[in-house]
Amino acid sequence: MDVTAKPPGGDCKAVGEILSRVGDKWSIQIVVALRSGPRRFNEIKRRVGGISQQMLTRTLKTLERDGMVERTVRPSTPPQVDYTLTPLGHSLSETVHQLAEWAAAHRGNIEDNRLRYDGRQV
């Protein structure tokens, strides 16, 4: 079967793929950190907070691979690298923003449900 085709119900798998791509621990936070403009490596690290440089490097590379961010090296001493959100990255951040609003709107509700559930179960 051709994967490039778009079967009627096949999108669910695509969503799953996107979600696992973007649903990892850092991708979204990095994208959000880049919304306001180009940032340098350690600048992002500081803004995200709690991320190891290992994961930052890794995640940035994946995001770059997917065309979400663009990496620009300026050969100076010390070397300076800027990361910028591409249009695709921006459009993702917009979409994620929807989810963010949903999350903000229902967070209390969910926590409430959890407390009730846990209260019952113990």
Q: Contact at 8 Å (CB) between 89 and 68?
A: yes
Question: Minimum Å distance from CB 73 to a copy of itself?
Answer: 15
Question: Minimum Å distance from CB 53 to a copy of itself?
Answer: 19
Q: Does the footprint of DNA cover residue 36 (CB under 7 A)?
A: no
Kindly tell me which of 51 and 68 has the beta carbon lying closer to DNA: 51
Pick the piece of the chain touching DNA (CB under 7 A) from 19-27, 84-92, 102-110, 114-122.
19-27
Q: Does the footprint of a copy of itself cover residue 46 (CB under 8 A)?
A: no
Q: What is the 3-state secondary structure (H, E, C) of the chain?
A: CCCCCCCCCCHHHHHHHHHHHHCCCCHHHHHHHHCCCCEEHHHHHHHHCCCCHHHHHHHHHHHHHCCCEEEEEECCCCCEEEEEECHHHHHHHHHHHHHHHHHHHHHHHHHHHHHHHHHHHC
Please state, in angstroms and rounded to a whole number, the distance separating the CA atoms of residues 113 and 107.
10
The residue from 78, 87, 108, 119 that contacts DNA (CB under 7 A) is 78
107 binds, among a copy of itself, DNA, none (CB under 5 to 8 A by kind): a copy of itself
Q: Does the footprint of DNA cover residue 32 (CB under 7 A)?
A: no
Q: Which residues bind DNA (CB under 7 A)?
A: 24-26, 40-43, 50-55, 57, 60-61, 71, 73, 78-81
